[in-house]
Amino acid sequence: MSEVRRNTRQRQVILRAVRELGCHPTAEQVYDRVRSELPRTSLSTVYRNLGVLADQGLLSTVAGAGKEVHYDHNREEHCHIRCSLCGRICDVDIFPSDMEGFPPEDLSGFILQEVSINLVGICPACSGKMEKEKTV
C-alpha cells in the first residue's frame, strides 16, 4: 500500500487543472487541460491522481446521472444543478444543515454520513439555444 505520497509534477498540474477549469470537469476534460502543459501525461495518470486527490480530501467527486464522474475542488458545503441537455454542472447555494427538519429522524436504521442534493434543469446556454431553434 502506498503510504507516503510524492509530490509529482503531474499531481500538481492535475490539481491545478481541476481548480482552474472550475466548473466540475470530467477526467477527460482534466486530461486535455493537463496535456496542454505536460503533453506526455497519460489518461491513467489523470485517473489515478484524481483518485489520490479525492482520498486526500483535496477534491470531491460529483455523483451525477451522467456516466462520467465529475470532480469538484470546492471544499465548502454546497449543492449542484446539472443541465439535462448538455450535462454541465453548476454550484447552487443550498445548505442542507440550515434546512428545517432535515435530515429526517427516520432513516430506516442507517447511520447518516453525507447529504447530497442534486437539482436537474436546463442551463441558460441550452434554453437560449432552444429559443433560437423555435424562431427558425
Partner DNA sequence: GTTCTTGCAAATCGTTTGCACAATA
Partner DNA sequence: TATTGTGCAAACGATTTGCAAGAAC
The site string for a copy of itself over 105-134 (x = CB under 8 A, - otherwise) reads -xxxxxxxxxxxxxxxxxxx--x-------
Is residue 51 at the binding interface for DNA, with CB under 7 A as the rule? yes
Backbone angles phi, psi at 81, to 5 degrees: -125, 135
Cα–Cα distances (Å) from 119 to 33, 77, 89, 116, in that order, read 27, 15, 10, 10
**Closest Cα to residue 49, out of 1, 4, 5?**
5
Residue 93's binding partner among DNA, a copy of itself, none (Cβ under 5 to 8 angstroms by kind) is a copy of itself
Is residue 76 at the binding interface for a copy of itself, with CB under 8 A as the rule? no
Q: How far is the CB of 99 from a copy of itself (least distance, A)?
A: 6
Q: How far is the CB of 43 from DNA (least distance, A)?
A: 6
Angle at 81 between CA 75 and CA 84, to 5 degrees: 140
The site string for DNA over 67-106 (x = CB under 7 A, - otherwise) reads xxx-------------------------------------
Number of other residues whose CB lies within 10 A of the CB of residue 15? 20
Angle at 60 between CA 4 and CA 79, to 5 degrees: 160
Q: How far is the CB of 66 from DNA (least distance, A)?
A: 8
Q: How far is the CB of 68 from a copy of itself (least distance, A)?
A: 11
**Gap between the Cα atoms of 18 and 91, Å rounded:** 15
Positions that interact with DNA (CB under 7 A): 1-11, 26-28, 38, 40-45, 47-49, 51-52, 67-69
